[in-house]
Amino acid sequence: MAPKRHLASLDQLAPGSSGIVRRLGGGKELASRLAAMGLSIGSLVKVLQNPGHGPLLVLVRDTRIALGRGEAPKVLVEEADGA
């Protein structure tokens, strides 16, 4: 049996870190909007900028997306090894 991996919210990841989206919180409307931008369950996301305040800049499917501080904690990722 594989070890259980830790889930972290996007706002907890440092710049340069990557993860695989495992859960989207915030209700159907937010999940639908994020999916329309390419941020869906199973997609690989890389944090480009996370200054600790203001929006996060992430890379998903060759697209840069800015997520607000209210949105980023609702995206739970499994940290990717060396991705």
Distance CA 22, CA 6 (A): 11
Q: For the chain, 83 residues long, give each residue's pLDDT as a single digit of tens.
A: 555 578 999 999 999 999 999 999 888 998 898 988 889 999 999 999 999 889 999 999 999 999 999 999 999 999 886 54
Sign of CA dihedral 67, 54, 52, 15: positive
Distance CA 36, CA 8 (A): 22
Walk me through the domains of the chain, giving residue ranges and CATH numbers.
9-79 (2.30.30.90)
pTM: 0.85
